Amino acid sequence: MKLLGIQYNQLTGSMPFMIFNISRIKVIAFTRNSLSGYLPNDLCNDLPILKGLHLSINKLYGHMPTSLSNCSQLQILSLSINEFEGPIRSEIGRLSNLQKLDLGTNHFMGEIPKEISNLVELEELDLVHNSFSGQLEMENFNISRLRLISLSNNNLSGSLPPNMCFVIPNIEELYLTFTNLVGTIPHSISYLVGTIPQSCASDHISGNQNLFSNLIHSTTLSAVTLANGSRIAVKGIGDVQLLPSISLNSVLFAPECPFNLISVSKLTKRLNCSVTFLAESVVVQDQRTGKTIGTGYES
């Protein structure tokens, strides 16, 4: 077996440890179930070619196994929206092929290890909604491929470096909301050439249940913080047909949200499109052909 994927179900109980003894497996995916228990300490001792470990949106707990560093071929590590705790060990820096590290919405604590700078292939780093503390050292994220950094809702300290454009020159999305930073916004931030205009929302969010199709109700999703600072509960996730030619996937259902929020960054990346805001309308165009694929008007 090379791929084991049982996602978006209602599986319960603990994960059978025998799964981690299948030496030929490349992808293990149990996203969005109700699995509980901990991950074995020797998790990666017999997984030499594992490339993807997808365990987000479950009820897993305990520390992150240090043996993960033995999965030298790992490209995607997704453990978000669980109950993991404890520090992230320096061994994480051995995953030199890692492209996506998603540990958001857990209870991880301690300092963000400086060894993250060794992840030379890293493109997305999401540590949002944890209890990381200590000085924020942006220099640790000086990785040429890194496009997204999300550190919001942590207990970090410090300030943004004045030479920010040289520290993270290719970043496209940077989220540092509620991180206790002080000081001024460096002028060099305007020279981050990879940065694109985007809405304040990092996810699509709606409070109107009638807009959803394939809505999956859940009690394990983390609350979200709106631009006004208020926090609202997320009760599910599903799809929304934005326009006849545009559908949105993984939209968060938050009944208390008074607006329909669209993450422009997610929209443009998924559709490879550009979004132009005019005085009373918005135009969505295919990036490759320039063809208009959707138009919205002020109501």
Bridge pairing between strands 131-135 and 107-110:
parallel
* pLDDT tens digits for range 94-118: 999 999 999 999 999 999 999 999 9
* pLDDT value for 132: 96
* pLDDT value for 133: 95
Sole residue written with tokens 């999300």: 150
Average pLDDT over residues 127-156: 91
Distance CA 297, CA 231 (A): 29
Cβ atoms of 138 and 112 closer than 8 Å: no
Identity of the residue numbered 75: Q
Distance CA 114, CA 247 (A): 39
Sole residue written with tokens 């996937």: 249
Q: How many CA atoms lie within 13 A of 14 on its CB side?
A: 9
Bridge pairing between strands 131-135 and 155-157:
parallel
Q: Could you tell me the pTM of the whole model? A: 0.66
Sheet arrangement for strand 292-297: 273-277, 281-286, 292-297
* pLDDT > 70: percent of the chain: 90
* pLDDT tens digits for range 20-65: 888 899 999 999 999 999 999 998 888 999 999 999 999 999 999 9
Q: Indicate the pLDDT class of residue 194, thresholds 50, 70 and 90.
A: very low
Q: Indicate the pLDDT class of residue 193, thresholds 50, 70 and 90.
A: very low
Task: Give CATH for domain 205-297.
Answer: 2.40.70.10
Architecture of the domain delimited by 3-191: Alpha-Beta Horseshoe (3.80)
Cβ atoms of 217 and 235 closer than 8 Å: yes
For the chain, domain boundaries: 3-191, 205-297
Burial class (CB in 10 A: 0-12, 13-18, 19+), 56: buried
